[in-house]
Chain A
Amino acid sequence: MSQQPPVSVRSLPRLLAVLAVVILPHVRNLPIWIPAFALAMMLWRLGVARRGWRMPGTLVRAGLAALAFASVLASFGSINGQTPGAALLVLMVALKLTETRSLRDYTVLTFLGYFLLGTHFLFDQSIPMIGFLLVCGVLLTAVLVDINHPDGGLPPRTSLRTGGLLVAQALPLMLIFFVLFPRIPGPLWGLPADSGSNAVTGLSERMSPGDISQLSQSDEVAFRVRFEDRIPPRPDRYWRGPVLWSFDGRAWEPGYSPNRQQAGTVANAERLLRYDVTLEAHRHHWLLALDVPMSLPADARLTSSRQLISRKPVRERRLYTVESALDYRLDPTLGDWARRIALSLPGTGNPRTRALAQRWRDDGLDDAELVNRALRMFREQPFVYTMQPPALGENSVDEFLFSTRRGFCEHYASAFAVLMRAAGVPARIVTGYQGGEMSANDQYMIVRQSDAHAWTEVWLPGQGWQRVDPTAAVAPDRVEVGLGAALPEGEPVPFLARGTASLLSVLRLQWDAINTQWNYWVLAYGPELQQSVLSRIGLPDWRSMILALTGLVSLLLTALGLWLLWQSRSAAPVDPARQIWNRATRRLQRLGIGPAPAEGPSDYADRVREQAPDLAPAVDALVQAYVATRYAGRAELTRLQAAERALPRRRR
């Protein structure tokens, strides 16, 4: 095998520039010293090529590699995970630069560039990234073209055009593979702890005063919903999340271990709704569903609290379809153990609340009347719904109910549940989201973190668990209209929760609509969506999918092959004079006096002179000019062009 040809010195700056572009967005994800180090190595390599600096020796290289490795270990505490992995890859590229000589090294660097491109998508999969992917794809391919031309004889425009052409021709294949390549549910191996989006805000499994009001400051999308036929009215938009049973005097926790085997029973399920939820990653197991879920998505189960639980934590955006009943009777009978837990309170604390509950009980109220009595208290007494409640001390419920009387949904839910339990009514807290806003195109509903909510359920004999939202008693607008309307004037409300239709918010909603399509069709395109999409277009199973995939890919490649063959065919030398002559005679044909097939130009001119004297001067000029080009060559071409232009369009 022959020696590899040398790589042009001109390819090096091109490769370095493209690698810099590929690394650039990592400035957001990695400690700044890593891209800075890469830049320094690039400048050094350029100095070696331009100024004749020395390449670092083996010892220096080994030292730098060890140092880089140790630094990554020191900054991240691990070399496993997406951020350290990306950091190591950038450092590897930087170090590889110092030993770049042969074509093989250049090729390896370009391949590393492609790989590096992939690491960006672990951090960011927004719409602009597809543009970045394509631009970098073209640039890297152009570099590959460039270095595969020994001596760098290609002008940059040619290699860019070739790279662009190759990427453009690969795009349809990419789309076909994307849609039809069989997706299998990941992960294949353990995911590093930091996978998924970096900072996640959202509900937690524990609710203490102040948790949800903090969440309400966030405009981030929690999930999006696409309803199949009708959209539930606003007061019905209770999205059920974690159900909390255990109260320690201050915070609520799930406590009651949900029974795996037995989901909470539902009687009289009516007004069924079917919808798709695209849930943002929150790294917990629960899935959100309208109160109450009746069907199960794949890989999920229902707890005895009628809560949807995914088998795996939701580490990336997840799409699922679920059915809910808006009218229902949940758990018409309550087991003894569940009842005991639903009534349990800490041994001490909140004495005034207990006393109040006891007083109501002593008045002879039954369970349903107790609930109404408590709600009337919230409504009639000067309770304020606010996101800036004062801090609460030891007996948080007492302080809230009798002195501060200012609070957010978790305060009301918590106080109400404690009050009910003290009065002997089984009660529990349900957290989740309340509300949701239709998108600009009315295609789907957006539920944001600011819609996070907590309410209570009380168990009433014969009726089962009944949803009671004490916040609605204080601030009915919270449920009827939304957070922005419910809060007093002057409180900081997340921008989009305000509900004022400024141009900016309209634009943001439009952008969100586009983003949602992107999320729904592209990012959430996994095994489930693929199966539903493909069975809709008549490819129900893997066999037909793979058949369609290979068929389409072969078809496209055949078309490409034919196009290339057509491109490589022998091209007849172009004779511009002949072209003009053919065009001109076609026009004369339309005028009724074209040359006969076996007639030479001069004979034709003679005949025109006889048969069509009106055309004779123009045809004479044309024939003379054409004959002149046959002998004098290209110099007479302008004369022929002029003669063609002078031909009349129609006969007088």
Chain B
Amino acid sequence: MAWNPVRGINRRIEQWVTTRVQRLPGPVAIRRQRIYILPTRQGVVFGVMTFALLLGSMNYSNSLGFALTFLLAGLGLVCMHHTHGNLVNLRISARGSTPVFAGETLRFVVAIHNPSRRPRHVIGTGLRQGEWSDHWVDVPAGADVATGLDVPAPRRGRIPAPRFAVSTRFPLGLFYAWTWLELDQSGIAYPKPLGASLPATLEGDEGADHSSQQTGNDDFAGVRDYHRGDALSAIHWKVTARTGELVVKQFAQARRDEIVLHFDRLTAPDPEQRLSQLARWVLDATERGLSWSLVLPDQRVPAGSGPDHCARCLTALALFQSSSAVAS
């Protein structure tokens, strides 16, 4: 590729800008020293047109032509300041994100707060700095408006919120102003669920064990404390009435539903593949209303059921042996 001086300069500027961006927990106020501004393509066309009008006015010695030319020149300069002022003092804060599965797009919610009495129009957020942003919002005076930041999550793990641009080209589209921000937040991408679904009977299946294989009978096996998610019919009302504490009857049969998902018992050589398989089974188990526990080499998630438990297990899978590597 031919040597392109503009590209080199751009890279230099890029590096300089990057070193100026600090990772902050937010809310971050946009300071005027950190706002960059350039003419847009339309702005360049506008400039060329104004110059053409200047030449025409000179040629015809046309005073009103000069007046129009100078009005447009003034308009351009004034617009530059307004575009810049449209960003000043906005406060940006992180509002978290909803975990996704690897391969999907993670959306960080970013809130823009306008503390001034002047409404700000068409404030965009995007990963790249460009004349147009992915998302834009109007932020009325004193208001808080949430907007999104879409980040692709190709792999499982903790996804740190990237550096992003807050930009605007309001009011005339002749200039676009932007600033770089990096909010100290991260999202989570679960392993992509893959592989066979959770078998109906787990006899001899690799990785997923029925606890019943260990206990072996259907008889009443005692009581235990009530956990959220236990069926009402399982409550041992007599004992509960006597002791005042909620307890449930435990049958060996009831334990048939409690399964253990073992990372080590899976045969797939690739750990990622195993994690994907486990993610699949966690989802299946949640769907079937089973109770399960998850055993990873360095961690054990005790038995439980329901969506919260599912999220806990998926997070454990997502961060397995990667949290230290990815999270900074």
Question: Would you call B53 an interface residue if the criterion is a C-beta within 8 Å of the partner chain's C-beta atoms?
Answer: yes
Question: Would you call B116 an interface residue if the criterion is a C-beta within 8 Å of the partner chain's C-beta atoms?
Answer: yes
Q: Contact flags (1/0) for B62-83 with A, using CB distance below 8 Å?
A: 1111111111111101110110
Given the complex, which residues of A lie within 8 Å of B85, measured CB to CB? 561, 564-565, 567-568
Number of A residues contacting the other chain (C-beta, 8 Å)? 71
Given the complex, which residues of B lie within 8 Å of A316, measured CB to CB? 60-62
Complex Cα–Cα for A384 and B117 (A): 81
The SS class assigned to the A binding surface is helix
Minimum C-beta distance from B81 to chain A (A) = 5
Minimum C-beta distance from B217 to chain A (A) = 64
Question: Which stretch from B134-142, B207-215, B262-270, B302-310 is at the chain A interface?
Answer: B134-142
- Determine whether the beta carbon of A2 is less than 8 Å from that of B134: yes
Say which residue of A111, A129, A177, A573 sits within 8 Å of B46 (CB atoms): A111
Minimum C-beta distance from A118 to chain B (A) = 5
- Determine whether the beta carbon of B126 is less than 8 Å from that of A2: yes
Question: Would you call A39 an interface residue if the criterion is a C-beta within 8 Å of the partner chain's C-beta atoms?
Answer: no
- Determine whether the beta carbon of B89 is less than 8 Å from that of A568: yes
Complex Cα–Cα for A169 and B169 (A): 18
Question: Would you call A115 an interface residue if the criterion is a C-beta within 8 Å of the partner chain's C-beta atoms?
Answer: yes
Number of B residues contacting the other chain (C-beta, 8 Å)? 59
Question: Would you call A153 an interface residue if the criterion is a C-beta within 8 Å of the partner chain's C-beta atoms?
Answer: yes
Question: Would you call A154 an interface residue if the criterion is a C-beta within 8 Å of the partner chain's C-beta atoms?
Answer: yes
Question: Would you call A58 an interface residue if the criterion is a C-beta within 8 Å of the partner chain's C-beta atoms?
Answer: no
Given the complex, which residues of B lie within 8 Å of A4, measured CB to CB? 132
- Determine whether the beta carbon of B65 is less than 8 Å from that of A118: yes
Given the complex, which residues of B lie within 8 Å of A114, measured CB to CB? 49, 53, 68, 72
Minimum C-beta distance from A140 to chain B (A) = 10
Q: A170-B71, A316-B61 are in contact. Are A567 and B117 (CB under 8 A)?
A: yes
**B119 to chain A: closest residue by CB:** A158
Q: A148-B171, A189-B59 are in contact. Are A177 and B118 (CB under 8 A)?
A: no
Question: Would you call A166 an interface residue if the criterion is a C-beta within 8 Å of the partner chain's C-beta atoms?
Answer: yes
- Determine whether the beta carbon of A186 is less than 8 Å from that of B42: no
Counting residue pairs across A and B whose Cβ atoms lie within 8 Å, the total is 185
Question: Which stretch from A205-213, A522-530, A583-591 is at the chain B interface?
Answer: A522-530
Given the complex, which residues of B lie within 8 Å of A130, measured CB to CB? 64, 67
Complex Cα–Cα for A129 and B68 (A): 11
Question: Would you call B84 an interface residue if the criterion is a C-beta within 8 Å of the partner chain's C-beta atoms?
Answer: yes
Q: A130-B64, A568-B85, A570-B115 are in contact. Are A173 and B78 (CB under 8 A)?
A: yes
Q: Contact flags (1/0) for A159-183 with B, using CB distance below 8 Å?
A: 0001000110111111001100101
Minimum C-beta distance from A548 to chain B (A) = 15
- Determine whether the beta carbon of A1 is less than 8 Å from that of B132: yes
Question: Would you call A195 an interface residue if the criterion is a C-beta within 8 Å of the partner chain's C-beta atoms?
Answer: yes
Question: Would you call B173 an interface residue if the criterion is a C-beta within 8 Å of the partner chain's C-beta atoms?
Answer: yes
Given the complex, which residues of A lie within 8 Å of B79, measured CB to CB? 166
Say which residue of B32, B42, B173 sits within 8 Å of A565 (CB atoms): B32
Given the complex, which residues of A lie within 8 Å of B122, measured CB to CB? 148-150
Question: Which chain B residues numbered 137 to 189 have a C-beta less than 8 Å away from chain A?
Answer: 138, 141-142, 169-173
- 7 closest A-B pairs (Cβ-Cβ)? A173-B74, A170-B74, A564-B85, A177-B70, A570-B115, A121-B64, A148-B173
A-B contact pairs, 17 of them (CB 8 A): A2-B130, A103-B173, A114-B53, A133-B71, A141-B75, A145-B170, A153-B138, A166-B172, A171-B71, A173-B70, A173-B78, A178-B67, A181-B66, A184-B58, A187-B58, A526-B61, A560-B81
